[in-house]
A and B are shown apart, each in its own frame.
Chain A
């Protein structure tokens, strides 16, 4: 079943990139970035998954070689990645707001004063 997760995560990443490339609305571009980010988070969590494993919460005394748990490192990485994703969304939306104020449009085809 974990295979399904991998397929889904790469599908989400590809969908995110597709959105960024094909949509001309700035807000949709930001949505594309977020979708790609969710795909990455799903991928990270899936990498650390062990079928049938428990939560990786042990004290040193409880830990034996028979303990079977999911890999905790990807979970920590996912937290970091989620935080970064939230920052990306916040920052890009604030830029979008400012862009709308000064350009009066959200169309990427019209926001191109810097070119050539």
Chain B
């Protein structure tokens, strides 16, 4: 094979997976040396990212679907006997998100982890996790998807427990392992039952054969696979695991668990419902996804409001945002799908940024407890600024990216309601709006209790984090702003090709199995179709919002500098504590309103709901396992009834 042959882009998918696993292996061998280890990790993540980016032109823009057969063992006699990688625009979209997050998180780790023990093992697991996720989204073989799911689950569990002296790390890892294994077992049983019916493991061939031949066994397999990938996406009722795991893992890993692992679960659910079983034409299935999405959205945002730990709060928000993605994807329209993918991308960017900021706070102060922190904006100005970018993005303030994608989600739900005449979809818009408001409220609380307010005396000597960590956070922040400023370009070049790929299942099957296979195998079973009606999409003008924002900032600065603005004096300068904010008639020592209690009135009114939810999330692994089994039973019943 000549050298030019190596650089053929058809090989890039396999390279992008291989370099990560190879890097993991080499770090085990040569990782004792710090320079060597950092170099290897950096090379692995950047080569992987470069391979994925190089695929954007052929796959996204030219619409090619790459079917790559390992060892050149392609289709023989109408059966796919080899192991395939299959890359269409949907896979590439997710791979692009994942490799970007992995790259930034890798850069951040270089300085974030330097004081920990066993750093070589950290990088080995980090690269295994990354390789597992990229392998999952690029794989065209359902058993290989299972293997990748197992690799990423193991690596994620081990990394969750990595700082095993940290509060709750071991406990979180064990719960994640148990429920994750229930999910993996479900996936494996589902795959085997499909194999028994269709005698193939190739995803494209299964997609052609299964939808026309549904029987009780395939229905049970569907339920098992659905719940299995649901545990990987941490949708309700699996959200407590996400909260535990995100909170306990090192921040650079929280970025991956929140931005990447949940996406891989969503990817699996999309592949299942749109490709493998092609049930999304049914209104009941749209209802199932939209319902789970809306419940996740609302339940998790209210759970987040009651949290007192920075990272645990972010973790609940993470699942709340995944609810948006799932609800939008479940609408089964072109606009809905684009909106969902757009929001998935934005979620990776802003949630990554927020977790890195939380990591920076933890790195410098040693805690993420909201009740202890305060006033860090004077000590850590860069982190504060970058945190605000992330907080504005997730709360959906223009001109940041969260606004653009949330706006699209609202419109998609509204459009679906007007097309089908079903009022239920209007409630989705409503829940999404309420959730967005609560998200904003909760981030006001976080910024108040961590970055503003009074600086506790013990944090007088806190310094800003080092340049490498700030650089990584800046990368995410820049991407947040850029994707917010050019929503039409993002939609046109990234999300719409991916959405179109989802609604052309026939092309996906033919690319792997040979032209005409889908038509002959599927017969008159029509694949899922959707209208691509972007007429109602009102693009807003982010540039003018940016100008308004700049003018407002400028005005504030001028007022502040010109001295008309009274510097708010620190509470310690007030002699009499009666000027402090206070709850009621308690003694003044107890009367201070901490940042964590900013919305105490709201919480008090909803105390029954909050205490109910608090008791429900008992932290006992048996309960969470029970939820998983109950979810499995409900989904099985649901599928038996509606299909």
Contacts and interface: CB of A to CB of B under 8 A. Distances in A.
A7 interface: no
A47 B192 contact: yes
Interface string A79-116: 01100100110011001101100110000110111111
Q: What 5 A-B pairs come out closest when comparing CB atoms?
A: A115-B619, A112-B619, A116-B614, A114-B168, A47-B196
Contacts of A71: 199
B186 to A, nearest CB: 9
A40 B188 contact: yes
B618 interface: yes
Nearest to B308: A116
B532 interface: no
A81 B188 contact: yes
Contacts of B614: 115-116
B80 to A, nearest CB: 12
Contacts of A91: 154, 157-158, 177
Interface residues of B, number: 45
A36 B185 contact: yes
8 contacts: A13-B189, A33-B178, A43-B189, A73-B195, A102-B170, A109-B620, A114-B168, A115-B614
A96 B157 CA distance: 13
Given A26-B174, A73-B201, 17 more contacts: A16-B185, A21-B629, A22-B622, A23-B622, A29-B621, A33-B181, A44-B188, A74-B195, A80-B147, A98-B164, A98-B170, A108-B620, A108-B621, A111-B621, A112-B171, A112-B619, A114-B247
A46 to B, nearest CB: 9
A29 B622 CA distance: 9
A36 B228 CA distance: 15
Contacts of B181: 33, 36, 88, 92
Interface string A1-45: 000000000000100110011111010010001001100100110
A17 B182 contact: yes
Nearest to A30: B178
B256 to A, nearest CB: 18
Interface of B: 143, 147, 150, 154, 157-158, 161, 164, 167-168, 170-174, 177-178, 181-182, 184-185, 188-189, 192, 195-196, 199, 201, 243-244, 247-248, 306, 312, 613-614, 617-622, 625-626, 629
Contacts of A29: 178, 621-622
Contacts of A24: 622
Contacts of A40: 185, 188-189, 192
A114 B101 CA distance: 27
Interface residues on A, range: 35 or more
Nearest to B247: A114
B177 A95 contact: yes
Contacts of A96: 174
Interface of A: 13, 16-17, 20-24, 26, 29, 33, 36-37, 40, 43-44, 47, 71, 73-74, 77, 80-81, 84, 87-88, 91-92, 95-96, 98-99, 102-103, 108-109, 111-116
B151 to A, nearest CB: 9
A87 B622 contact: no
A90 B174 CA distance: 12
Nearest to B618: A115
Nearest to A81: B188
B622 A108 contact: yes
A13 B190 CA distance: 13
Interface centre among B147, B173, B196, B199 (most CB of A within 10 A): B196
A20 B625 contact: yes
B63 to A, nearest CB: 33
Interface centre among A16, A21, A74 (most CB of B within 10 A): A21
A53 B178 CA distance: 38
Nearest to B303: A116
Contacts of B177: 88, 91-92, 95
B339 to A, nearest CB: 32
Nearest to A24: B622
B9 to A, nearest CB: 30
Interface centre among B158, B167, B244, B621 (most CB of A within 10 A): B621
B195 to A, nearest CB: 6
A114 B182 CA distance: 20
